[in-house]
Structure 1
């Protein structure tokens, strides 16, 4: 009898108490295939509600579900990393728990994997119901990422299938701060794509507010490109050129006896130079902070310890 390959489903969760139980079982049902076994690794990213209890309840009903619970919120990237580290399968699939990554696509992804693809990417052909500001933010982020980091991630999502060789390579990357989509795109393993339209969220609302998204975008852009750091030099050259032009004009006016009150010019130069210096220091400081975090070498996540029930003597 030929052993069936094991497929690991990695599902991060955060504050999804009301829908976690039903959605996890829906994911398992959608992933069912006759030629493979399934395990589901649910990673609770330090939820502040009772999400972990609902996940444990789902695991009690279906032994294919295992639970990882963080001590606090470490972020989705850490949750993906933890799930992939615990995955035992020959292949792993990362997807969201809100069913906006349709589980019905999983059998198709597995067929493409059997056909030789090392990575199968589910690409958004339609982003679903989204605000104008959300669309604008996404387009701006992908535009900047394409031009700063040289990677085209438009339409990409975390809904991906990874072969075991890709999983091992991803886990071997030394950096602590990770951008899952970016690193898989950068690795350029032989891949296939499946288009999908994003369905409505199966309960709840997004845990990402605009501030979190902006911070997430800045961190990912600067992790993949040092161009902003090099821009400090260009900013300095630009302000120096402007200052030289203003200086030459001032000297010419002085020699001609047509010099005017320099209050406005001085203020303009102070604002221009001061803004350029502070912007440059801010960019340098951001990269120093990234280096500082990497050097500390703290773990990407901490798993919550469990105490055994005390035994009454």
Structure 2
């Protein structure tokens, strides 16, 4: 890290946020200027088809502290924000949304907690107004993560928060091609603090997080942070093999008591076959996981252009 690197980096992903891009930039700049330390504001645009990029380019021309990355295509809401975070040069990195549902006025509190010694400071939403379908997806996501995930996640923490530079570097070393960033934060083992807040209404525009987008996000995050899920077939197979042994014992007892033996034997054989199939699937899934972990080298995004980044950045 050079002497010219800023103390703070604020990263804001965008996609079709022409109504919010300039207002969120003004709000964040105002809060960061009140904090008083040097900062950079990085926007990463995930292939908007409105005037978002045009407006942000104009802002970059007027303020060198504002930087812009424009993706060559839509790389999804897991990969694009994470790539933006990896480009940050600050001693602490703040990640937030562009639609004001992550309130900029919390930034000084994040900084205060970080300066008190916490490596990760996350905002936790107290309320989440949504449709029944979206609520079900969120509950399923939290239940699945708690049940099958390798590391606990913090419910209603969307990733809005501040991360020490060491945390970002540790997450980057994992080289996850579909990064579930808020789960990977916990995976690092660094200290976490939380700040509760009431989620404001979206300032303008239409959210990209519909039912299917959130469902895809939930399934991708579960697949990315869960080795246990791949091993579920192994447990099911073991239970079935135990059941086949019980059926076999029951058949022996039935024969001793003068009953029919063959139904129990047939049931034991069928159960053993299904159990063996599940064990095979579990072993194959674990092998696929190991192959994946050994070969993860996929870039998160491909950039079309970047603005206001120096060569050393």
**Do the structures match in fold with TM over 0.5?**
yes
Q: Which residue of 2 aligns with 1:91?
A: 92
1:12-51 equivalence runs, <5 A: 12-51=13-52
Q: Any idea what SS the aligned residue of 2:126 has?
A: strand
Could you tell me whether the CA contact under 8 Å between 1:16 and 1:204 is conserved in 2? yes
Q: Which residue of 1 aligns with 2:309?
A: none
- Tell me, which stretches of 5 or more residues in structure 2 are unaligned? 307-313
Label 1:41 to 1:216 Cα distance change in 2 as closer, same or farther (>3 A): same
* Corresponding residue of 1:116: 117
Deviates more, 1:82-91 or 1:177-186: 82-91
C-alpha distance in structure 2 between counterparts of 1:9 and 1:37, whole Å: 11
Deviation at 1:214, TM superposition (A): 2.4
| Structure 1 position 247, deviation (Å) | 7.8
Q: What is the 5 A alignment of 1:94-105?
A: 94-105=95-106
In structure 2, what is the Cα distance between the partners aligned to 1:136 and 1:7? 36
Q: Which moved more, 1:275-284 or 1:203-212?
A: 275-284
- C-alpha deviation, 1:69, in angstroms: 0.7
Partner residue of 2:140? 140
- The 3 A distance-change label for structure 1 pair 274 and 59 is farther
TM-score, length basis structure 1 = 0.78
How many residues align? The count is: 297
Q: CA deviation at 1:240?
A: 4.5
TM value normalised by structure 2? 0.78
CA shift at 1:159, angstroms?
Answer: 0.7
User: Distance between the aligned counterparts of 1:45 and 1:295, measured in 2?
Assistant: 26
* Cα 1:215–1:242 shift into 2, 3 Å: farther
CA shift, 1:231, in A, is 1.3
**Which one is further off, 178-187 or 59-68?**
59-68
Q: Structure 1 residues 159-168 or 17-26, which shifts more?
A: 17-26
Equivalent residue, structure 2, for 1:310 = none
Where relative contact order (Cα < 8 A, 6+ residues apart) is larger, the structure is: 2
Shift of 1:229: 1.9
Shift in Å, 1:232 = 0.8
The Cα RMSD (Å) is 3.5
Distance 1:10 1:287 in 2: 36
Distance (Å, rounded) in 1 between the aligned partners of 2:105 and 2:251: 71
Equivalent-residue separation in structure 1 for 2:32 and 2:112 (angstroms)? 12
Within 2, Cα distance between the matches of 1:294 and 1:208? 32
**Residue 235 of structure 2 is aligned to residue 234 of structure 1:** yes
- 1:219 matched residue in structure 2: 220
The CA deviation string for residues 244-282 of structure 1, in whole angstroms up to 9 with x for no partner, is 7778889969x858999xxxx99xx79xx8899599859
